[in-house]
Amino acid sequence: MQVTVKKGNFDIPCDLLAVPIFQGVQLPKELSEFAKSIRKEVFDGKENQVLLLDTLGKGKWKYLLLFGLGEEKELLLDKFRAFAGSAVRASKSTQSTIVCAIVPEIKTFQKTEISQAISEGALLSNYKCTKFKSKKGEGADKEPEFEPKEFSIVSADIKGVEAAVNRGSILAGAQNYVRDINENPANIVTPQKLAESAKELSKNPNISCTVYEKDALKKAGMNGILAVNQGSDLPPVLIMLEYNKDKKLPHYCVVGKGITFDSGGISIKPSKGMHEMKYDKTGAVCTLGIIKAVAELGLPIRLTGLMPATENMPSGSAQKPGDIITMYNGKTTEVLNTDAEGRLILGDALAFAAEKKPDAIIDLATLTGAIIVALGPHAAGLFSNDDEVASALMSAGEKTHERVWRMPLWKDYAEMIKGDFADIKNIGSESGEASSITAAKFLQEFVGECKWAHLDIAGVDNIKAAHPYMEKGASGIGVRLVVLALEMLAAKK
């Protein structure tokens, strides 16, 4: 589906016209023919209220969709992503090939902001993972799911709108790219397959790719990655993508956790829900998406993406609780729980990133179940040693609706990960107290003096309940957030 821009108003012919309406506000005069037949109790613009009408030939469109924005004083930009999602769903149910969405004239947000949000919502809502569905056999879907051919954003004044829609399309496209890779289970996406995806991105002349394989990791002393990998038959990799390599531009590093499957290792997880551990590679896949979006937008920054990737499996050769390993930066670590593996592979990658002396490091990881207890599915946990980096991520989160909540990193928590027989230990306590924070404190041991932020995305990596513009499954949340935050940080340089 393509998102396009059309100059006009309600006179644009299409199969389905979608119009956002504030609560208690009368329908535009162009829709007066339909207003008199709509009872207030059926539709009056309440938040997320939807009314789909067959126009019976009374308009230049076969169907009319009204979407409630709620009260203007409480309006969030994300409501326009939901509006677009509602229109795409309606197009599928009505088999509408051409959809037009009206951009309203309001004071709260600029037309370009609204247009970008609508384009993002339209493309994100149109993605559904069906690639594993058989086209053969009893009960199988014999026809591909219907999708509109064209989704047009309609405005009387299109100045700046086309650029905004193009930006939204790139960002949503990168997010859908992440969702599509992330849905692949562990028998399809291995560490080596992740490396292949990175190499594909390096076909862009501004992106270079280096893959450090097992021998190189041994030579470098990346023992955190190697220890986690001990139980797997598949070798580990550390993937590095570089955008605008060596150019004199603000330089940032994004580091993503790439556990392609997490059994917990010897500290094995319960079987219930273990199938979702295919999503433990989300941080790494989001890093791919961030590099893709930044390159396609042509942002004037230098960006290094680092993705340590391995499985975490139990076997006779797997690391064991009580093992002590020496990490890439020389710190020794007691492994008290092999299911706290993400921080081990990230520790090596973060120390490697810190050697490059970037202006800031941002890591993304499905790191702890505790962050889900704390924040649920509505925000990622943010931990940072720098107020400017944290502020950029918080501000970007409000605009993208990929919201974050800052958690403490007080020195007191460092005491909780002091090792008895090594420098540090990989869990704070057996009782799980402050486990999201102690995990972040562990990571902080590897960033040196660099400005750094850690995003614990374990609660937002996949959609489990009804969502206004995304289907159940991998969310790709983090791509739009980090791209905008990087732009904000670079603008201050």
Taking CA atoms, 273 is separated from 12, 181, 263, 279, 288, in Å, by: 48, 20, 11, 11, 26
Residue 147 in contact with residue 126, Cβ under 8 Å?
A: yes
Closest to 95 (Cα-Cα) out of 38, 55, 149, 154:
149
Q: Is 493 a catalytic residue?
A: no
Closest to 45 (Cα-Cα) out of 17, 74, 16, 3:
74
Q: How confident is the model at residue 470 (pLDDT cuts 50, 70, 90)?
A: very high
Residue 273 has a pLDDT of 93
* Residue at 272: amino acid letter: K
Mean pLDDT score, 42-58: 91
Q: Is 81 a catalytic residue?
A: no
Element (H, E) at 90: helix 78-94
- Which position has the higher pLDDT, 241 or 58? 241
Residue position matching structure tokens 């199988």: 140
Residues 6+ apart with CB under 8 A from 137: none
Residue 134 has a pLDDT of 82
Residue 104 in contact with residue 153, Cβ under 8 Å?
A: no
Return the percentage of the chain with pLDDT > 90, whole number.
90
Mean pLDDT (the chain) is: 95
Mean pLDDT score, 389-402: 98
Q: How confident is the model at residue 431 (pLDDT cuts 50, 70, 90)?
A: confident
Residues 6+ apart with CB under 8 A from 382: 390, 393, 394, 404, 405, 406, 407, 453, 454, 455
Q: Is the pLDDT score of 133 beyond 80?
A: yes
141-157 pLDDT per residue, tens: 556 778 899 999 999 99
Residue 104 has a pLDDT of 94
Residue 41 has a pLDDT of 74
Residue 367 has a pLDDT of 98
DSSP string for residues in 431-443: T-TTHHHHHHHHH
Element (H, E) at 347: helix 342-355
Structural domains of the chain, with CATH = 2-130+148-156 (3.40.220.10), 174-491 (3.40.630.10)
Q: How confident is the model at residue 57 (pLDDT cuts 50, 70, 90)?
A: confident
Mean pLDDT score, 420-436: 94
Strand-by-strand arrangement of the 332-335 sheet: 323-326, 332-335, 424-425
DSSP string for residues in 368-414: -THHHHHHTTS-EEEEES-HHHHHHHHHHHHHHT--EEE----HHHH
Q: Is the pLDDT score of 22 beyond 70?
A: yes
Q: How confident is the model at residue 207 (pLDDT cuts 50, 70, 90)?
A: very high
Rounded CA gap, 175 and 169, in Å? 10
Rounded CA gap, 285 and 282, in Å? 5
Q: How confident is the model at residue 429 (pLDDT cuts 50, 70, 90)?
A: confident
Rounded CA gap, 436 and 416, in Å? 12
In this structure, the strands spanning 14-22 and 98-102 are parallel
Closest to 91 (Cα-Cα) out of 9, 167, 17:
17
In the set 111, 278, 331, 343, the catalytic residue is 343
441-459 pLDDT per residue, tens: 999 999 999 999 999 999 9
Q: How confident is the model at residue 374 (pLDDT cuts 50, 70, 90)?
A: very high
* Residue at 109: amino acid letter: F
70-86 pLDDT per residue, tens: 999 999 999 999 999 99
In the set 269, 320, 356, 406, the catalytic residue is 269
Name which of 25-34, 129-138, 235-244, 460-469 the model is least confident about: 129-138
Report which DSSP code applies to 26.
P
Residue 136 has a pLDDT of 56
| φ, ψ dihedrals at 166, nearest 5° | -65, -40
Residue 141 has a pLDDT of 55
